[in-house]
Homo-oligomer: A and B are copies of this chain.
Amino acid sequence: MITEQSLINRINDAFPFLHHADPIFVRYFFLRAQRVTLDAGQQICSQGAECGSLALLLDGRARVYKLGENGREITLYRLGVGESCILTASCILSHVPFPAYAVSETDVEAIVVSVADVKRWMGESEAWREYLFGLISGRFADVISMVEEVAFRRVDRRIAALLLKRSTESGDGIAVTHQEIASDLGSSREVVSRILKDFETTGHIKVGRGYVRLLDIPWLQAKSGEGGLV
């Protein structure tokens, strides 16, 4: 149950669908929801687990990933503020176990609602339905894009794209290890190291322990295929 006004304001800001939801739903939402916090690095869900509740992220970031039989990992998607772990919703609504792992990458603050409420509100609130369905559709499309990338796209191009994406948040100096890149892309650390070294040898980036500095954004854009000219 959430009663504190400043928290209610933050939630309203983070989840705009509440603005146009019917007031009865909104009242029950705040009545039934609970606030939780997680430290960075905490395992949120494990593959095969049952889903007991649905979390809506208020602050922080979580990563959902698959773990391969060879020990390598691939990130399916990341959750930020205003988002919900749609695999959990899917799991709740269809009674299948959670098919991946989820971990908090930063300290996380979330709003948690129970299985029963998730289901009830699906029938009662169009705003809630559209919110969840919008998230599912987005994630479904993301995962399908990932199949395409993994099956058909060269790793060097995927690394270039990842570096560019990271640079939008942190500028051209990126704190990242080769293993992190490998774990995001489902590749191996050695392959990532070699490709980064190649990028460095040709002068397009500079690498150091745990960081990468981008020196040639246009080249990386072309490399990733985003510039439109390959």
Contact = CB atoms under 8 A, between A and B. Distances in A.
Nearest to A124: B123
Contacts of A52: none
- Secondary structure at the A interface, as helix, strand, loop or mixed, is helix
Contacts of A70: 152
A174 interface: no
Interface string A167-188: 0000000000000000000100
A49 interface: no
A40 interface: no
B96 A141 contact: yes
A44 to B, nearest CB: 16
Number of copies: 2
A68 interface: yes
Nearest to A69: B152
Nearest to A144: B99
B137 A66 contact: no
B74 A147 contact: yes
A140 B66 contact: no
Contacts of A194: none
A66 B99 contact: no
A46 B150 CA distance: 21
Interface string A131-142: 001101111110
Given A143-B147, A152-B69, A123 B133 contact: no
A37 interface: no
Given A93-B133, A94-B134, A140-B90, A147 B150 contact: yes
A134 B90 CA distance: 8
Interface in A87-105: 87, 90-91, 93-94, 96, 99-100
B151 A72 contact: yes
User: Can you list the 9 inter-chain pairs with the closest CB atoms, starting with the nearest?
Assistant: A68-B152, A94-B137, A151-B186, A90-B137, A150-B150, A66-B148, A93-B133, A150-B151, A74-B151
Interface of A: 66, 68-70, 72, 74, 76, 87, 90-91, 93-94, 96, 99-100, 122-123, 126, 129-130, 133-134, 136-141, 143-148, 150-153, 186
